[in-house]
Chain A
Amino acid sequence: MSDTTMTARFVPNRLNSRASRILRSWESLLLVVAVGIFVLNSFASPYFLNAWNLSDATYNFTEKGMIAFAMALLIISGEIDLSVASIIALASTAMGLAVQYGAGTPELVVIGLTVGLLCGAFNAIFVTVLGLPSIVVTIGTMSLFRGISYIILGDGAYGGYPDSFAWFGQGYIYWVFTAEIGIFAVIAVIYGVVLHKTNFGRAVYAIGNNSTGALFSGIRVQRVKFILFLLTGLMSGVAAICLTSRLGSTRPSIATGMELNVVTMVVLGGINILGGSGSIPGVVIAAFVMGLVTFGLGLLNVPGIVMSIFIGLLLIGVIALPRLWTMLAAKRRSA
């Protein structure tokens, strides 16, 4: 144990510490937190327990959540994609450009998804074919993708999306259930099944725990990673469609800083940032927790930038607290 703490790649020992039991029931702990925040919010503001307000509140996490599922798989496999928000910007810009040439809703959806896939493939080629570290590559493409949006749009904006396009970000499926929460739920189920019930999902875990071992077990490591980057790009494309549809306009600064929210959501959901463990239900609950916190603070008139302090503290806190706990427990045992 003391040997592994020397390096930055610290892999917690999951077999014999008390924190491991907490981590193993991370989802249930998170669920308790979510219920607690829900109850606190309903006491803090009289406007909280209103079906339509709660329905609006889901927009706080649906778009980020869609990306978070793909990001969860990517992080479990030991990679990361920091360019997701910039992919949204580029996909949104491409859709806005297409509208200027009279594209309809079906074309816009195809364009949004295609740009997302292409951006994902671009990242994937750098990481899997050229073998470069994903963090640097996606920091680079983070500038590049948004940079292209700035080149196309400058300080301008695209608008004039067709009326039927508004359904994705503003429509309802049934009563208070929005189209976005529907898309979110479908994606959650798909990713849950893929990660937890298929060979592909097992391969993702195997790669995250020991990519060399996975390779020697016959898993095509680079191909799996390539697919994961494609999926992350695709999900960013879906999120771009929803966000653009909801806002009804495109600026190159759209979704700035969203990658941080997505990574926070994934980590809060109990996905090990070093890869190898985590679950989709955890990410779903984490999405609700973040949505509830943001919505609750919003009702209490807390400005957005102050909320980002909470998000930052949440991100560091959820990783730091279990480790502090382990350290204190170890100290108590030795004393």
Chain B
Amino acid sequence: MVLRHIPVREAILGAAILVLLGVVSTRFSGFISPANLANVFNDTAPLIILALGQMVVILTRCIDLSMAANLALTGMVVAMLNVAMPGLPIPVIIAVAILLGAAMGAVNGLLVWKLAIPPIVVTLGTMTIFRGIIFLISDGKWVNAHEMSTAFTGFSRAAFLGLPVLSWIAILTVIVFGVMMSRTALGRSIFAVGGNPHAAVYTGIDVGKTQFLAFVLSGALAGLTGYLWVARYAVAYVDIARGFELEVVAACVIGGISIAGGIGSVGGAVLGALFLGVVKNALPVVNISPFWQLAISGSAILIAVAFNARAGQTKGRIILKSTEGSV
């Protein structure tokens, strides 16, 4: 019953993106050239990767507001590592980024799992703590392009089969998460925990541990994106990606992932991210100031959540509505 709804929602979102592309192309036909679409995709790649991590967390009835701060801290650490040891091979840098990000995710996860603190409180707290730590380790200074090695900054831009490595990593993440969510025990238990935690317990799933693993996954992806972000923009400082956590949540909500947990799909998260990515890239083309971006993503969240709630009303869960999701 749930599965029957998802493809419809994705089809609507996919159609919305196509309509958007069509409208923009009437103003500027070059926007839908393959090369430009590849650029838009590459520009949206970090958002896609982060949205997948956020999706896993939201599916388990949690939320991770610390993703952008995690990204910024990891980015700063690997940038400083690169400055200190320019010879360090890129695979090692990536491994450090993923592990560090996962460790920060584990901190969130442990607080949620072992102490049962509401995820919103935990991640609001760690969000500021992580940002503060960036200031402490960097002394408020920037790491600029000329201090980074060319291998460090070049990796994510290197072209492979016509697309930059950054895009390929996003595609790979989508495939891995697609398989994980539909073909592995972990993926199914993530859905089960969010869909009905009590039933999940009776089927032998450890709810807290699954939430913990979800936070580790989102942390690992935030860490990975931290390196990719810093490498792509070739700069690291305290405030990179500030406020990006909301855009990530927006991508998930637009993609039809229910904030009450248990409902959502990898395809939805990707389409939600692509929708925001297309909007962001289309604004300058149709001569709208980039200052509109924030208000547009805010409106998109509200419209999407209202729309999804109406779609979800047919499922007979309305009886618990007022006690759910009010954390």
Q: Which A residues lie at the B interface, using CB under 8 A? A: 5-10, 78-80, 126, 130-137, 139-148, 150-151, 154-155, 211-212, 215, 221, 252, 257, 260, 263-264, 267, 273-275, 303, 305-306, 308-309, 311-313, 315-316, 319-320, 323-324, 327
Given contacts A147-B292, A316-B125, contact A305 B250 (CB under 8 A): no
Q: Are B321 and A131 in contact (CB under 8 A)?
A: yes
Beta-carbon contacts under 8 Å, B131-145 to A: 131-133, 135-136, 140
Q: Which residues of A contact B111 (CB under 8 A)?
A: 316, 320
**Which of B125, B207, B294, B323 has a CB less than 8 Å from the CB of A312?**
B125
Question: Can you list 12 A-B pairs, Cβ within 8 angstroms, ordered by A?
Answer: A8-B211, A130-B309, A137-B305, A142-B298, A144-B301, A260-B124, A273-B118, A309-B132, A312-B126, A312-B127, A313-B125, A316-B111
B70 to chain A, nearest CB (A): 13
**Which of A79, A134, A319 has a CB less than 8 Å from the CB of B117?**
A319
Cα A141 to Cα B301 in complex, Å, equals: 8
Q: Which residues of A contact B322 (CB under 8 A)?
A: 131, 211-212, 215, 221
Q: Are A132 and B207 in contact (CB under 8 A)?
A: no
Q: Mark B135-163, 1 if CB is under 8 A from A, else 0.
A: 11000100000000000000000000000
Q: Are B135 and A303 in contact (CB under 8 A)?
A: yes
Closest to A321 in B: B115
Cα A159 to Cα B17 in complex, Å, equals: 41
Given contacts A133-B259, A134-B326, contact A323 B294 (CB under 8 A): no
Q: Are B306 and A139 in contact (CB under 8 A)?
A: no
Given contacts A135-B327, A136-B301, contact A151 B292 (CB under 8 A): yes
Q: Which residues of A contact B297 (CB under 8 A)?
A: 143, 147
Q: Which residues of A contact B293 (CB under 8 A)?
A: 147
Q: Are B124 and A143 in contact (CB under 8 A)?
A: no
Q: Which B residues lie at the A interface, using CB under 8 A? A: 61-63, 111-112, 115-122, 124-129, 131-133, 135-136, 140, 197-198, 201, 207-208, 211, 238, 246, 249-250, 253, 259-260, 289, 291-299, 301-302, 305-306, 309, 321-327
Q: Are A5 and B116 in contact (CB under 8 A)?
A: yes
Closest to A311 in B: B128
Q: Which residues of B contact A315 (CB under 8 A)?
A: 121, 124-125
Q: Are A323 and B115 in contact (CB under 8 A)?
A: yes
Q: Are A144 and B302 in contact (CB under 8 A)?
A: yes
Q: Are B298 and A141 in contact (CB under 8 A)?
A: yes
Cα A134 to Cα B198 in complex, Å, equals: 24
Q: Are B324 and A133 in contact (CB under 8 A)?
A: yes
Known: A7-B207, A136-B305, A315-B124. 12 other contacts (CB 8 A): A130-B306, A134-B326, A140-B301, A143-B297, A147-B292, A147-B296, A150-B294, A260-B127, A308-B129, A309-B128, A316-B122, A327-B115
Q: Which residues of B contact A257 (CB under 8 A)?
A: 128
Across the A-B interface, the 7 shortest Cβ-Cβ residue pairs: A147-B295, A143-B298, A144-B298, A309-B132, A147-B294, A140-B301, A133-B325
Cα A212 to Cα B299 in complex, Å, equals: 31
B323 to chain A, nearest CB (A): 6
Q: Are B120 and A135 in contact (CB under 8 A)?
A: yes
Given contacts A305-B238, A312-B129, A316-B126, contact A8 B119 (CB under 8 A): yes
Q: Which residues of A contact B116 (CB under 8 A)?
A: 5, 8, 10, 323
Q: Are A305 and B323 in contact (CB under 8 A)?
A: no
Q: Which residues of B contact A312 (CB under 8 A)?
A: 124-129, 132
A306 to chain B, nearest CB (A): 6
Q: Are A132 and B117 in contact (CB under 8 A)?
A: no
Q: Are B201 and A6 in contact (CB under 8 A)?
A: yes
Cα A322 to Cα B99 in complex, Å, equals: 30
Q: Are A273 and B207 in contact (CB under 8 A)?
A: no
Q: Are B122 and A126 in contact (CB under 8 A)?
A: no
Q: Which residues of A contact B131 (CB under 8 A)?
A: 305, 308
Given contacts A139-B246, A151-B291, contact A308 B132 (CB under 8 A): yes
**Which of A131, A145, A215, A273 has a CB less than 8 Å from the CB of B327?**
A273
Cα A260 to Cα B128 in complex, Å, equals: 9
A317 to chain B, nearest CB (A): 9
B206 to chain A, nearest CB (A): 9
Q: Which residues of A contact B295 (CB under 8 A)?
A: 143-144, 147-148, 150-151
Q: Which residues of A contact B327 (CB under 8 A)?
A: 8-9, 80, 135, 273-274
Q: Are A154 and B291 in contact (CB under 8 A)?
A: yes
Closest to A86 in B: B298
Q: Which residues of B contact A150 (CB under 8 A)?
A: 291-292, 294-295
